[in-house]
Structure formats: structure tokens, C-alpha cells
Amino acid sequence: MTWSSRVLKIHPAVMVLASFLCAIIMGALLLKLPNSTKSGSIALIDALFTATSAVCVTGLVVVDTGSYFSAFGECIILLLIQIGGLGIMTISVLLFRLFGRSISFRQRMILQDVFSHTPREDIFRLVKSVFLFTVITEIIGTILLTVHWSKVLPFFQAFYTAVFHSISAFCNAGFSLFSDNMMHYSDVFLLNITICFLIVVGGIGFPVLYDLQSRFLRKNRGYKRLSIQTKAVLATTLVLILSGALMFALLERQTLWETPSLSHRLLVPLFQSITCRTAGFNTVDIASLKDATLAMMIFLMFFGASPGSCGGGAKTTTLALLTAFILSRVQRKRRVNMFKKSIPPETMTRSISLLLVSIGIISTVLFMLLIGDTGGNHLFPHRQGDFLAYLFETVSAFGTVGLSIGITPVLNLWGKCWIILMMILGRVGILTFSYIIIGTSATHGIEYSEENIMIG
């Protein structure tokens, strides 16, 4: 059996995971180069952690990006963010077509799983639209952010800063060149709205963007209905953003009203509601927030972005399906319906399984982090442990969010390895890992006589 024939037999899920792991390893090696850091050296685990956070578009950092890395190192991180946001297979397909080579059936299968919920023949047109939309959106973001930073920085530095944060925001990475992230700009309207726009567009998913483009921007194509996925994603995203902003404003009203700036009071809740979904930027000190606020943010981080987007988490569609499932059972309906469409039972089973497995993995990693805690790095002296801090960190890694109460830099080797695993799991997806572990073919097994059991 030749090497090429062996590659063709590799399952798409394995190829996706392998591509991300290769990008992470290459990124870590590049960050280990003396030119990548200002001091000329970085610990291997820190280089691996940073590369994983960049490729998985998370934003958790163990060293300050702007002060620790050189311009070369920052460019490496930015390249890893862009590769991780678009996806390695997307970029490879574009390069194949650029050089006139056809893409394989396996590559089509991978792109089908990533970018489309139903089989389609125009998969390359979809990929090309994804790439063009990404470039155009990031250019628009760069222009708007350059307008802002050119007022306080030299033009070239303002342009470089704008490029970095535009790509980081659209890819939902959350990496920032500033030590305090965006806290210094909490009341700047242009910056806040631009970053929020980039995060939302990058987080709702490329299939939704392509569906909207086909529905509203293409002429002479006839009437095209929006898919149920597009409707579910848009509705869920809107509800989460508005409810999250309202809850944040309500829970932190005392702190917000201490600031006389009206724009600060309005922008901070909106920004944090949007960014804690998948992005990881922050305009307030996360460690200073109330426990109830952190719990609300953990909920938003857990579900994260939408399928086929730059973000991770259990996904907004999972939340939409679970809500529809609960409502149907309360109303004693046999089928789960959304937007006058019935959801296949297999899809409902997968969404429930995804939820349970995600909770199980988060609980396991949280337990392992608590075991590895030596007790010397407590963030809250009045508590016996940093349970909330570790939970927040674990869910942030799983949702590829990047927000942290401040525990990331003080993680030991054990903790960094577990967070690295969570970032990879969150970006590649729980279902992808389940395909790798148990395969895709289901067996009926042995059927026995039924017997009821009490529940509740």
C-alpha cells in the first residue's frame, strides 16, 4: 500500500485533528526561536501553550504578548491566529486551486463537515466566499481601528496595531498587544463597536454568512429561504447578546454607575456580553467582577460560538435545540419543531450527547486541575481554594474564549497541559474527537425485553 493510498483512507476527523496539531507544533518551534522573544528565550511549555492558544483562537496567555514577544514573534502569533481561524484545510484547498490542482474527496468531506449542514456541490464556491469575506471584513476592521489608534500612535504603529487586533477579533482569538487588554478603551465608541462587530461576524459561522449572502446579495437567483440553522443561529445569538448585556448591567450596576461616562455604562455590558462568548477581549478587570457575574459569563462561554465559525464551545445551535426539546416535552409533543420544521431525532440525540460529554470533560479537567493545585497560588486568600477561578479557566479554554480571572500565568506544568488539551478539544470539537475514538459506524447491538425504571 502506497503512502498516498494510506492518506486517502484516513478519516476526515483525524485529518482535521492532525492539521491542527501540526500547526501547533510548528508554531511552538517558531516561537522558541531567539528572534521571537525580546529576551531571546521562552520555556518550551510556554511556547507550546501560546501556539495552542493562537491556533485554537483562544487568547489565554501565560506571558504578556506585547511586552514579551518581539515583532517577529507577534507576527508568528498573528499568522497562527489566521490559520486557526480559517482552518488549515480551508487554506490548503485554496492553495491547491491556486496552483491548478484538484481537491481530493477527503478534502471535500472535511469542508462539508466544517462549512455546510447539508450536502452541496458548490463547496469550493463556499470556501472561496469564506476567504474573500474574511479578507474584506478584516480590511474594514483594520481601517476603522487605524482611524482610532492614529490619534494616539504614529501611523505605522497604529496600522500594525489595527491589523493585529482586527484579525484577532474576527478570528475570535482575543490576543491583544496591550497589557491591560482593552480596559483603557472601555468608553471609546468606535473601537468598541468595531471589535464587537468583528467578533459577532466571526462567531456566527461561515455557513450562516454564506446563506445570508445567497439570500440578500445575489441578484437574479430567485427567492431563497434562509435555512433553519441560519434562523436558529441568528435568533440565539441575538438573545444571548441582549440578555447577557442586560444581566451584566444589572449585576454590576453599582460599579458601572461609579463612572460618570454614559458611553462606559452602555458599552461595557454590551462588549463583555459579546466578547465572553468566544473572543476573550475585556474592557473591565474580570477578577473584580461578582461571583454571580462570573457564573453568567461561564454559561455564555460554555455555549460559545456557532458551527462553522472561528469559535469553540458547545455552540449556539446546541442551546437552540435543547431549548426547543424542553419546550416540546413540556407541551407533550412527540417531535421537536423549530421555525415550522421538524428536527430529525438523530440530530437531537447528538445535541444531547454533545452537552453531556462536554459537561463530563469540563468536570474531569476541572478535577484534575484541582488535584494539581499545590495551594500556593490562590487568587482569593479568603477562600480555601480557587474553585471558581479554575472552573472559569477550564470553560474559557473549552469555549476558546480566552477570558481569565488571572490564574493562567501561575498555572504549573500540570495545569498548562490540561488547559492545552481543553483548547484543542474546544476548537476541533467534541464530535470530531468522538469520531476518532469510537468511529462513525453505529451498531444496533443486542436487543433484550424492555423493563421500565423510575426517574425523577
Q: C-alpha cell of 362?
A: 469540563
Q: What is the pLDDT of residue 384?
A: 46
Q: What is the pLDDT of residue 119?
A: 47
Give 46-60 pLDDT, tens digit per residue. 999 999 999 998 989
Check: CB of residue 80 under 8 Å from CB of residue 54. yes
Q: Is 130 exposed, middle or buried (0-12, 13-18, 19+ CB in 10 A)?
A: buried
Q: How far apart are CA 192 and CA 19, in angstroms?
A: 34
Q: What is the pLDDT of residue 25?
A: 94
Check: CB of residue 229 under 8 Å from CB of residue 317. yes
Give 139-143 contacts, CB < 8 A, sequence gap 24+. Answer: 139/166, 141/165, 141/166, 141/169, 141/170, 141/194, 141/197, 141/198, 142/166
Q: What is the pLDDT of residue 105?
A: 52
Query: In 3D, which of 115, 45, 110, 50 has the Cα closest to residue 81?
Result: 50
| Residue corresponding to grid cell 493562567 | 408
- Secondary structure class of 242 (helix, strand, coil): helix
Check: CB of residue 248 under 8 Å from CB of residue 149. no
Check: CB of residue 210 under 8 Å from CB of residue 130. yes
Give 241-258 pLDDT, tens digit per residue. 999 999 999 999 888 887
CA distances from 206 to 6, 56, 58, 333, 386 (A): 31, 17, 18, 33, 37
Q: What is the pLDDT of residue 96?
A: 53
Q: Is 399 exposed, middle or buried (0-12, 13-18, 19+ CB in 10 A)?
A: buried
Q: How far apart are CA 365 and CA 390, in angstroms?
A: 9
> Which pLDDT tens digits describe the chain residue by residue (456 residues)?
454 445 445 566 677 788 888 899 999 999 999 999 999 899 999 999 999 999 998 989 999 998 999 999 999 999 999 988 876 556 655 555 555 555 555 555 555 555 555 445 556 677 777 888 888 999 999 999 999 999 889 999 999 999 999 999 999 898 999 988 898 898 899 999 999 999 999 888 888 888 888 777 665 555 578 888 899 999 999 999 999 999 999 999 888 887 777 888 899 999 999 998 788 899 999 988 999 999 999 999 999 888 878 778 888 989 999 999 999 988 888 888 888 888 888 888 888 888 998 999 999 999 999 888 755 455 554 444 578 889 999 999 999 898 988 888 888 898 999 999 999 988 887 766 666 555 555 555 677 777 777 766
Query: Nearest 5°: phi and psi at 342?
Result: -95, 135
CA distances from 66 to 72, 77, 217, 281, 423 (A): 11, 11, 40, 14, 22
